Chains A and B, each alone.
Chain A
Amino acid sequence: MLEVKNLTKYYGDLLAVDDVSFRIEEGEFATLLGPSGCGKSTTLHAIAGLIDASSGSVHLRGKDVSDVAPYERNIGLVFQHSALFPHMTVEENLRYGLKMQNFDGDHDDQVQKYLEMVQMADHADHKPDELSGGQQRRISFARALVYEPDILLLDEPLTGLDRVLREDMRNEIRSIQQEVDVTTLHVTHDQSEALSMSDRVIVMNDGRKEQVGHPTELYERPETEFVAEFLGQSTKFQGELVDSPSPIVQAGSREIHVKTNGRFDPADGEEVSTYIRPEEITVYRSPQANGDVNTFTGTVRDIEYLGHRAELEIELGDGTVVTAFSQTSDELDIDDEVAVQFDPEKVICV
């Protein structure tokens, strides 16, 4: 459906996008995820034709559109700050694309249908500045879909909305996307947005593609340190891999037992980063040496109460700080001595 091949973009000497390639299948909801300045927006703009790539190509429905002007690409784009035309009413904003694209079909019906889809039919005659931020996003979304584009691009469309509204809009965007069945590429720096909405996530960092995969795949089996650290929380142990008799990462004086399950095959003595997610760590109230592997003692340094659970910062003997969760019924206090334990199976190795 959409295929980006070896996309590279220089701004002067600055390399913004570095040889990025990926493809999205028909009907998929894909997300370009990365911190600001990672090149995800530049990639999106190159797909829309709003900037010229330095090299590489963009293919839409099998056709190379790299040299096609944006007004001939039949793309829908929702901008970061909605970018509705302030001198036109809501209805005129929607009609604009239909008219410019010479949309085949009844324009009135189409406008009505999409205004209803985003629940804004009552606001057809309003000017954009009479609408709230959330309403503007809805119109912007309808405007990008009304002429039935081949692909929908979302450039951080929820920027600047408050948290509750963002979460509502997230679900709504996802359900409209499925209803219309439009292939969608979404750009965001918000990992929870990316993980909750997408069929496929393309993680970018520093102009490069880090990893592509389903959200669970990225979270459970990150392939690079960046992905492991960027998605979710984790505690990192770094050291040399020693393979005797089962694989162990020697992080200072600490031995981290890991299970590589064939996915990961480093040579003996190689430097390895291991990560353990807070939800995989069990916290024991009294430090006991029960002989289990990956059991370490430490002191509770910080407790952040989150309602359904608490987030703990536990400092181990060598100063390493482990992030773990505890049930709030555990009644732990700061400076309590505790033990943490985790299953070798759950250790992520990169």
Chain B
Amino acid sequence: MNLGTVRLPEMPSLSMLRDRSTAKLLMAIGLGWLTIFFIVPVVVLLFESLNFGEGSLLENYSTALSGTYLRTLGRTMAYAFITTIVCLVLAYWIAYYIAFKAKRQMLMLGFVLLPLWVAIIIRYFGVSLFFLPTGPVQQTFGTDFGVLFSTTGVIVGLTSALLPFAILPIYNSLQSIDEELINASQVLGARPMSTLRTVIFPLSLSGVIASALFVYILAAGSFLAPAILGGPGDFMMANVIEQSFSYSIPLAAALSVVFTVALLILIGIFNHYANISEVLGDL
């Protein structure tokens, strides 16, 4: 299925660099950085996760894939999934409004981006203040609707934090739809809802896929949202890994590997249905 591509800022091409040795040097710096701070740690992590003492080599993995840890993995994926769905629905609505209805698009986009200037932890505290017994929700309704320190709290927090990442790619893809196609659809007899369903939505699918990917990965890796807004039963993988790090680095390493592989598998399945490389072709 051809989904079009998301427009992303262009990288300066290497041919633009006149001196070949400069290009090589730049590449070496980049590759060196990647090697030292990404590849080496991953190799160390893999090595750490193996058990060279008594028992099976993969003992840490059997712990990581058992009982409470497996449930946490499942919970992490489920929370990320729910967050993604909620974010996509809200983001599509907002992006559609900005792209087609708003008079001052840049101002609206500014509002979308504004929260990104505030540290994420402060935003989560903001959300929790909102629902605290002294906060406006409690004061107005006499209840916090069970949001605080619960699954709902985590989802609300993640959604509010990640919404800008969902809005931007969708807005971008909506923005790049040729207005004449929408006009054509109308003249051909399609009512606004039909035009949205048959023309606008299919043509913005690349943005939806990019948004889903961003939000899912960011949500799944979230540490602060469950820590600040969740209850004791809402821990996600990042929290569990951080916790186990304090008493068993090998287990933390094994959990990290399991988590990463699980995410990669999910992305792989997603890719099977929606060709990500086509959507993010310009990356």
A100 touches B194 (CB 8 A): yes
A97 touches B183 (CB 8 A): no
B203 touches A75 (CB 8 A): no
Contact of A147 among B178, B181, B189 (CB under 8 A): B189
- Assess whether A161 is interfacial by the CB under 8 Å rule: no
- Kindly list chain A residues whose C-beta atoms are within 8 Å of the C-beta of B191: 69, 71
Cα A49 to Cα B184 with chains together (Å): 11
Cα A77 to Cα B183 with chains together (Å): 9
Determine the interface band of chain B, counting residues with CB < 8 A from chain A.
10 to 19
Which of B180, B188, B190 has its CB near the most chain A CB atoms (within 10 A)?
B188
- Assess whether B198 is interfacial by the CB under 8 Å rule: yes
A79 touches B184 (CB 8 A): yes
Interface string of A39-61 (1 = CB under 8 A from B): 00000000011100000000000
Contact of A85 among B181, B186, B187, B194 (CB under 8 A): B181
A83 touches B184 (CB 8 A): yes
Cα A323 to Cα B178 with chains together (Å): 44
Q: How far is the CB of B223 from chain A (nearest CB, A)?
A: 39
Determine the interface band of chain A, counting residues with CB < 8 A from chain B.
20 to 34
A69 touches B2 (CB 8 A): no
A100 touches B188 (CB 8 A): yes
Query: Which residues of chain B in 183-214 are interfacial with respect to chain A, using CB atoms and an 8 Å cutoff?
Result: 183-191, 194, 198-199, 202-203
A80 touches B180 (CB 8 A): yes
Cα A143 to Cα B180 with chains together (Å): 14
B188 touches A143 (CB 8 A): yes
A79 touches B189 (CB 8 A): no
- Assess whether A226 is interfacial by the CB under 8 Å rule: no
Query: Which residues of chain B in 158-187 are interfacial with respect to chain A, using CB atoms and an 8 Å cutoff?
Result: 178, 180-181, 183-187
B180 touches A97 (CB 8 A): no
Contact status of A100 and B190, CB under 8 A, knowing A85-B199, A86-B203: yes
Interface string of B1-23 (1 = CB under 8 A from A): 01010000000000000000000
- Assess whether A70 is interfacial by the CB under 8 Å rule: yes
- Kindly list chain A residues whose C-beta atoms are within 8 Å of the C-beta of B180: 79-81, 83
Q: Write the residues of chain A forming the contact surface with B, with a CB cutoff of 8 angstroms.
A: 48-50, 69-77, 79-81, 83-87, 96-97, 100-102, 127, 143, 147
Q: Write the residues of chain B forming the contact surface with A, with a CB cutoff of 8 angstroms.
A: 2, 4, 178, 180-181, 183-191, 194, 198-199, 202-203
Q: Assuming A71-B190, A81-B180, A86-B2, what are 4 further A-B pairs, CB within 8 angstroms?
A: A72-B189, A83-B183, A100-B188, A127-B2
Query: Across chains A and B, which 3 residue pairs bring their CB atoms closest together, nearest first?
Result: A100-B189, A101-B189, A83-B180
